[in-house]
Amino acid sequence: MYYPYGWKAFIDGKEAPIARVDYTFRGLAIPAGHHAIEFRFEPKTKETGDLISLVIGLLSIVLVAGGLFWEWKQSKKAVA
């Protein structure tokens, strides 16, 4: 099944346009000679999800560190 969203193609490290071939396949216009061909699936939703995960992870660390600091500060007040 042809699904263009998120797919990128590279010929010798340079991005190349992907063509729809026979209704269901991806194709590239490749010049004559030997070349390194690479298809990558890099959907925008993955980048967005990675960013959201990073922000939530950092926020969690800050909240836990803040809570530990608060508890430590409260225990110092109770002793004094």
- Cα separation of 48 and 55, whole Å? 11
Q: What residues are paired with 21 via a beta bridge? A: 25
Per-residue model confidence (pLDDT) at position 79: 72
Give 10-53 pLDDT, tens digit per residue: 999 999 999 999 988 999 999 999 999 999 998 999 999 999 99
Q: What is the pTM of this model?
A: 0.60
Pairing between β-strand 14-16 and β-strand 19-21 as defined by DSSP bridges: unpaired
The candidate with the shortest Cα–Cα distance to 37, out of 65, 12, 2, 74, is: 12
The answer to whether the beta carbons of residues 33 and 12 sit under 8 Å apart is: no
